[in-house]
Structure 1
Amino acid sequence: MPAVGFSPYTLYSREEWARLREDTPLTLTEADIENLSGVTERVSTDEVVDVYLPLSRLLNLYVEASQGLHGITEEFLRKGNGKIPFVIGLAGSVAAGKSTSARVLQALLARWPSHPNVALVPTDGFLFPNAVLEDRGLMTRKGFPESYDLPTLLNFLGDVKSGKARVEAPVYSHVVYDVLQGQTLAVEHPDIVIVEGLNVLQPAILPKDGETIPFVSDFFDFSIYIDAAEALVERWYVERFLRLRQTAFRDPAAYFHRYASLSEVEAREVALSLWRTINLINLHENILPTRQRADLILRKGAGHAVESVALRKL
C-alpha cells in the first residue's frame, strides 16, 4: 500500500479534550455516576467531567443542528412527518467498556433540554437464539457477524429512522446467555437512540449488481469506537469473568453457573481460553478493522481511563 500522510482524524490529548467542555454543567450526582459503572469498570467523576461532558456538548450541537436541518427539509417538502431520531452507534471489543460508555452518554444527553428522550438499544438482543445458533453450529461464533439476525436489526433501524412512534427491540439476558422470548424493549418517540454493539460498524459485502442492502452504520448520524490495547482488553475480560464467577455465575439459572465452583486459577485459565479462542479472533477479524469507520475514537489506558480522543475531520 502507498504511504499516505493525511489522517482523517484530529487527535486530542485528554487535557486538550477536557477544555472543550467549556461551561457545560455536570448534571449527574456521585450516586448517579456510581450506578452507571460496570461490573469491573468504575466510572469516576473526573472521567465524566474530562471526557463525557465535552462529548455530550459536541453531540448536543450535532443533534440540534440535525433537528434544524430536518425541520427545514420538512418545510421545503411541505411535509409534517414529525421528528426523526438522531442515531448514535457505539462499537468496540468485548470488555472494552461499551455498555458503560453508552449508559453515561445516555444519562448526560437526556439532561439537555432539546432532546430529553434518549433510548439505549444493545444489539445483543438481535443475536439469534441459542437454539438457532446450535442448529447452525454457531455457538462458538456467538458475537461474530453471522450470529446476528441482521434483517431484524435493519428493519428495526429502518423503523426508527422513519420516525415510527413506537419500535420494539428484542431483549438479551447475559445471565441465561440467550435472547428472552416474548420480552421486548420499547422505543417510543425518541429524540436520540444509542445503538451499542460489537459489530455495528461492520460493512456489508457490496453486490456486483448494485442492489445493495443497507449497512447498520448507514442509519447512524454519529459513531463512536471504544479502543484500547489488546493486552488491556484481555486483562479486563479476565477480571470481569472472575468477578462474575463470584456474583452472577452463582445463580443456578445462569448459563455459566458451572464456572462458579472453579478455583481462581481454573477460572482464569477458562477466561483466557474463551478470550483467545473466540473473542480475540472476533476482535482481529471483524471489530478492530471497523475502528477507522468511526466518527470519534476514545482510546483508553489502564483503569479504563480515556487517554486520547480522535475526532474525524469535517
Structure 2
Amino acid sequence: MFEEQQLRSYLTFDRPSWSRLRNSVPLTLTEGELQGLRGINEAISLEEVRDTYLPLSRLVNLYVKSRQDRRKVTGEFLGHSHKIPFFIGIAGSVAVGKSTTARILQALLDRWSEHPKVALVTTDGFLYPNAELKKRDIMHRKGFPESYDVRTLIKFMADVKAGQRQVKAPVYSHVTYDIMPNQHRVVDQPDILILEGLNVLQANPTDDAGVRRFVSDYLDFSIYVDAEIEQLEQWYIQRFLTFRKGAFSDPNSYFNHYANLNDEEAVRVAREIWRSINLVNLKDNILHTRNKADLILHKGASHRMEQVLLRH
C-alpha cells in the first residue's frame, strides 16, 4: 500500500467523498456505450463511472479551462495565439485496467463543450518491432524501458504539443503482438491528448547526445491506476484464461499455441509469465513512478475503485 511519506503529498478520498465532487455533473454515458469501453474481465458499472470517472472528468475540465484562459490572456498580450493540446498521461501495471480508464475518460471528456476533440494514443505503438527486439536480443523484455522507441515517441509528443497537423503514431496489434507495417493513427490538433501506457511516467534511457528525456515532461496531468500486487496477478491470470478461449484461438495470434492448454496448464503458464516478466517490470520500472502521478486511482476487487489520491 502507500507509505506515510507518500500520503503526505496527497489529499486522500474514499469512494463516497470523491463521488460527491462530481458536483451534480450528469451521467450521459449509456450502458450500451459503456459495454464497448469495458476491458477483458472488467465488470465496470455505470455506478462506477458516476462515482469515480465523472468527478475525474470534472477536475480535468477545470484544469483545461484554466489553461485555456491563461493562453487567451497570453494571446491577447502577444497579439497572436495557437492551439496547444492538454496532455494527460495514464500509467500503471499490466492488467490493472489502464486502457479501460483511458477509454472511459476519453468518452466523458468528449462530452464537455470546452474540449470536444479528445484523442487517445497508447505507447504500445512505440515499441520496437519484433524484428528489432530480436536483433537486440530483448524480445523477452518487451514492455521494459529499453523495448520502446523513445525518440519516436518524444518526437510525436513534441509535434502534437506544437500544434502540428496530421501527426502520425504507429499502431500495435495485440493479435500479431507486433507493430503493424504501414499503418498509423493520425492525431490532428486535438483539444486533449490522452497517452496511456506502462512507460508514461518512467525515466527513459539517454539518447545519442547523452540527454535523458522524460515523456512526463510533456504531460499537463498524470494518473496512475493502482492495485495490490496479489490482485494484479489474479487479474492477469483471469485475463489470460479469457484470451485462451477467445483471441488466442485466432490462427494469426502470436499466442495461438496457448489456445489448447487446459485450465490447470493455462493457470500455470499465466502465473509463470506474470512472475518472470510482468511482476519484475512492475517492481523494477513501474511501481516507483506512482508517486510522480498527480492523481492515483486505487482499485480493490472486481476493479472497483476504493480510494483516490490527489496531489496537493
* Cα distance in 1 for residues equivalent to 2:21 and 2:229: 29
Where does residue 77 of structure 1 map in the other structure?
78
Paired residues of 2:91 and 2:197 also in contact (CA < 8 A)? yes
Identity of aligned residues (%): 56
Q: 1:105 deviation in Å?
A: 0.1
* Cα distance in 2 for residues equivalent to 1:6 and 1:191: 32
Instruction: Please say if 1:216 is aligned against 2:181.
Output: no
After superposition, the C-alpha distances for 1:220-274 in whole angstroms (9 at most, x for unaligned) are: 0000000000000000000000000000000000000000011011111110111
SS of alignment partner, residue 61 of structure 2: helix
Where does residue 42 of structure 1 map in the other structure?
43
Paired residues of 2:145 and 2:204 also in contact (CA < 8 A)? no
* Cα distance in 1 for residues equivalent to 2:24 and 2:33: 20
* Cα distance in 1 for residues equivalent to 2:240 and 2:5: 41
Where does residue 29 of structure 1 map in the other structure?
30
Where does residue 252 of structure 1 map in the other structure?
251
Q: 1:73 deviation in Å?
A: 1.8
Q: Which letter maps to 1:57?
A: R
* Cα distance in 2 for residues equivalent to 1:4 and 1:292: 10
Q: 1:67 deviation in Å?
A: 1.2
SS of alignment partner, residue 214 of structure 1: strand
Where does residue 89 of structure 1 map in the other structure?
89
Q: Which moved more, 1:287-296 or 1:69-78?
A: 69-78
TM-score after normalising by structure 1: 0.95
Q: Which letter maps to 2:223?
A: I
Q: 1:55 deviation in Å?
A: 0.3
Gaps of 5+ in 2: none
Paired residues of 2:205 and 2:212 also in contact (CA < 8 A)? no
Paired residues of 1:34 and 1:42 also in contact (CA < 8 A)? no
Where does residue 192 of structure 1 map in the other structure?
192
Where does residue 299 of structure 1 map in the other structure?
298
Q: 1:212 deviation in Å?
A: 3.8
Where does residue 229 of structure 2 map in the other structure?
230
Q: 1:74 deviation in Å?
A: 2.4
* Cα distance in 2 for residues equivalent to 1:5 and 1:251: 44
* Cα distance in 1 for residues equivalent to 2:75 and 2:203: 30
Q: 1:188 deviation in Å?
A: 1.1
Gaps of 5+ in 1: none
Where does residue 273 of structure 2 map in the other structure?
274
Q: 1:205 deviation in Å?
A: 6.3
After superposition, the C-alpha distances for 1:186-235 in whole angstroms (9 at most, x for unaligned) are: 1112000000000110024689x9x7443100000000000000000000
SS of alignment partner, residue 48 of structure 2: helix
SS of alignment partner, residue 20 of structure 1: helix
Paired residues of 1:106 and 1:120 also in contact (CA < 8 A)? yes
* Cα distance in 2 for residues equivalent to 1:23 and 1:212: 46
Paired residues of 1:67 and 1:83 also in contact (CA < 8 A)? no
Please tell me the root mean square deviation across aligned C-alpha atoms, in Å.
1.6
Q: Which letter maps to 1:12?
A: F
Paired residues of 1:36 and 1:43 also in contact (CA < 8 A)? no
Instruction: Please say if 1:138 is aligned against 2:153.
Output: no
Where does residue 14 of structure 1 map in the other structure?
15
* Cα distance in 2 for residues equivalent to 1:188 and 1:128: 24
